[in-house]
Amino acid sequence: MNIDLIFRIAAIGILVAVLNSLLSKSGRDEQAMMTTLAGLVVVLLMIVREIANLFDTVKKLFNF
């Protein structure tokens, strides 16, 4: 796992938090929730890709 992945996840989290705060204060709670969900989906896809790479590495290690 690369440290770059952690920084990308943190950057997405900060961006989503700022957008959520701005949208909530302007009275657009629905868009704020959708922004939060979109950020969560993006981060989960990044993590799933890394887990898939981990499983591929384990398969290669044990010659499956």
User: What secondary structure does DSSP assign to 37-64, as a single string?
Assistant: HHHHHHHHHHHHHHHHHHHHHHHHHTT-
Write down the pLDDT at residue 33: 95
Could you give the CA distance from residue 28 to residue 21 in angstroms, rounded to a whole number?
10
* pLDDT digits 0-9 by tens, 18-62: 999 999 999 999 999 999 999 999 999 999 999 999 999 999 999
1 has pLDDT over 80: no
pLDDT of res. 45? 96
d(CA 15, CA 2): 21
